[in-house]
Amino acid sequence: MVLELQSEKNKWKHDFYHLLEKWQLELKKRFAASSEGLPGQGDLFNEIEDILQPDEEEVAAEQHIAYTRKLPRKARLDASLQRKEIVHDISDDEKTCECCGTDMHRMGEDVSEKLDFIPAKVQVIRHVRPKYSCRTCEQHGTETKIKQAPVPASMLPKSITTPSLLAQIITAKFQYGLPLYRQEAMFKQFGADISRQTMSRWLVAVSQKLEPLYQRMHDLLLQQPVLWADETTLKVIQSEKSKSYMWVYGCGGDKPPPDGTSQNIVLYDYQDGRGGVHPKDFLKGYRGPLQVDGYQGYEQTEAKLAGCWAHARRKFVDAKTVQGKKKTGKADRALSYIQKLYRVEKRMAGKPVDELWRARQTESSTIMSEFKAWLDAQTMQVPPTSIIGKAVQYTLNQWSKLQVYLTDGRINIDNNRAERAIKPFVIGRKAWLFANTHGGADASAVLYSLVETAKANGLQPIDYLMRLFEQWPLLSDNSDIDHLLPWNIDLTH
């Protein structure tokens, strides 16, 4: 009887601490500042706090906090901005010395700069095509051929759009998250009555015309040595599924490759579910490393999956949150191991991939061996249902994938690049909330891909799209389109 009571007491004690941990974790997520969130954004972006890239201090998992006063950052004016100079001079009479009457010389000047904003404006371009005929033939009753310049090529020939208008609408929505109904109001104040329905039809039509360019980028993506992927939810009104998904796949980093021999590609793919069949189909034929989070759906691909140390780290950050007032604990020990791995990456940043690979083989592999031994020991010491227990088990379950980055200097230590790629879509979704149809979601995937790939290759999306929309209508059915890819296009004229 005593043993039964003791067993029951231990069970209730275990359940109590388990619920206490969950409560403490929820309190932190709901009310505390997120360690990976953007400062000052409050609830507006709390949906993506867990997927933003940690800064350098967070990645290092430092265990102390330095309280320093943060001075406001002064706005900087780019040297390339056009300057208009206004001279504030004294009158000629004041340029005479009051003491001796001598003309004063200019000894120098003080200069201050202020930023002036010129509001956008719209204008109507009238395409006038004169017609010509022969009066002599007309007088003699002879049939004459009327001559006239051809209609200028256009992305949407029967619409009022121009390359600049289309580029503005697309970048406003897909780069800055401005919904079409707000753009409708904005255009009205400029004297242009363009309904959101009309703009929506334009975007779908443009995305369909650019499908070959999207497919070409898809083909090139599958030829890259290392890829990454992520996914997030999307609500589609006219869909039988309660949740649809926008997947993102890509290669490279945030900036153009320094050698200019490779490309940064970011492709979005809309699907009505999260099943593993979707990445399997999109990545068909690709067998290289694929960096992902712990979602099992990627197991269906032919790729060699590389794990994400940022995800493993977050599990231990949660455990540290609920470990109480202890200055150090098991979560701190785990974070210190991960800190050492990131320190290797930070020290080798910018070095050739073969040097990074050697550093990982000599330093990071030793750290991971010690960490693995520690994790194995913890399985016998911590309750598996506790927050720290779940963190330990998650890391052990992912261990084979977490080791993959050691084998190739081109593979990142984490999947934060993919999370930064999906972030613009998540932020935009907070503004427009849902897509109406499958066609609209597919169009969004194509246009997001063009905008984000342009950014990843160092281009301003609006400049790239304007040039693309000028050149695309000039192509014939069998024309080569590689010169219009973001890393090839000529924006100089």
Q: What is the pLDDT of residues 81-131, one digit of tens each?
A: 899 999 999 998 898 998 888 899 999 999 988 888 888 888 999 999 999
Whether 318 contacts 334, CB under 8 Å: no
Residue 227 has pLDDT above 50, yes or no: yes
- Contact between residue 226 and residue 408 where contact means Cβ atoms under 8 Å apart: yes
Kindly report the average pLDDT of the chain as a whole number. Answer: 84
**With 70 as the cut, is the pLDDT of residue 325 above it?**
no
Q: Which of 77-91, 160-174, 295-309 is least confident? A: 77-91
Residue range 121-146, pLDDT digits in tens:
889 999 999 999 998 888 888 888 89
The stretch 53-69 carries a mean pLDDT of 42
What lies within 8 Å, CB to CB, of 264 at 6+ separation is 250, 251, 252, 253, 254, 255, 256, 257, 453, 456, 457, 487
Answer whether residue 62 shows pLDDT above 80.
Answer: no
Q: Is the pLDDT of residue 36 over 50?
A: no
Global pTM value: 0.80
Q: Let me know: does 180 contact 470? Beta carbons within 8 Å.
A: no
φ/ψ (deg, to 5) at 148? -160, 145
Q: What is the mean pLDDT of residues 467-474?
A: 96
Residue 280 has a pLDDT of 96
pLDDT of 51 reads: 33
pLDDT interval class at 21 (50, 70, 90): low
pLDDT band at residue 50, thresholds of 50, 70 and 90?
very low
Q: Is 148 helix (H, G, I), strand (E, B) or coil?
A: strand
More confident residue, 101 or 151: 151
pLDDT at 13 over 90: no
pLDDT at residue 299 tops 70: yes
SS3 385: coil
Question: pLDDT > 70: what percent of the chain?
Answer: 80
pLDDT at 305: 96
pLDDT at position 54 is: 44
> Is the confidence at residue 327, as pLDDT, over 70?
no
pLDDT band (50, 70, 90) for residue 52? very low
- pLDDT (mean) for 464-473: 96
- How many other CB atoms sit within 10 Å of the CB of residue 217? 20
For residue 24, what pLDDT band results from cuts at 50, 70 and 90? low
Torsion sign across C-alpha atoms 429, 432, 437, 441: negative
> Closest Cα partner for 114 from 71, 80, 83, 72?
83
Among the listed residues 32, 16, 17, 78, the one whose alpha carbon sits nearest the alpha carbon of residue 317:
32
Concatenated DSSP letters of 327-377: SS-HHHHHHHHHHHHHHHHHHTTTS-HHHHHHHIIIIIHHHHHHHHHHHHH
Predicted pLDDT of residue 93: 87
pLDDT band at 193 (very low <50, low <70, confident <90, very high): very high
CA–CA separation, 316 vs 268, rounded Å?
A: 31
Domain boundaries, the chain: 308-414
In this predicted structure, the answer to whether residue 60 has a pLDDT above a threshold of 60 is no
- What are the CA-CA distances from residue 353 to residues 77, 261, 290, 356, 366 (Å)? 36, 15, 17, 5, 19
Instruction: Decide if 271 contacts 258 (C-beta within 8 A).
Output: no
- Give the C-alpha separation, 324 to 327, whole Å: 9
pLDDT of the residue at 40: 35
Contacts of 8-17 with C-beta under 8 Å, sequence gap 24+, read 14/383, 14/385, 17/386
User: Tell me, what's the pLDDT at 478?
Assistant: 85
Collapsed DSSP state (helix, strand, coil) of residue 446? helix
Q: In this predicted structure, what is the pLDDT of residue 429?
A: 74
Inter-residue contact 465 to 450 (CB < 8 Å): yes
User: Would you say residue 48 has pLDDT above 70?
Assistant: no
Q: What is the share, in percent, of the chain residues with pLDDT greater than 90? A: 59
SS3 (DSSP) at 281 = helix
* Average pLDDT estimate for 48-55: 36
What DSSP character marks residue 108? -
Give residue-wise pLDDT tens across range 286-296: 999 999 998 99
pLDDT at 79: 86
The closest of 347, 458, 316 to 413, measured between CA atoms, is 347
Q: What is the pLDDT of residue 424?
A: 84
Q: Looking at residue 38, what is its pLDDT?
A: 33
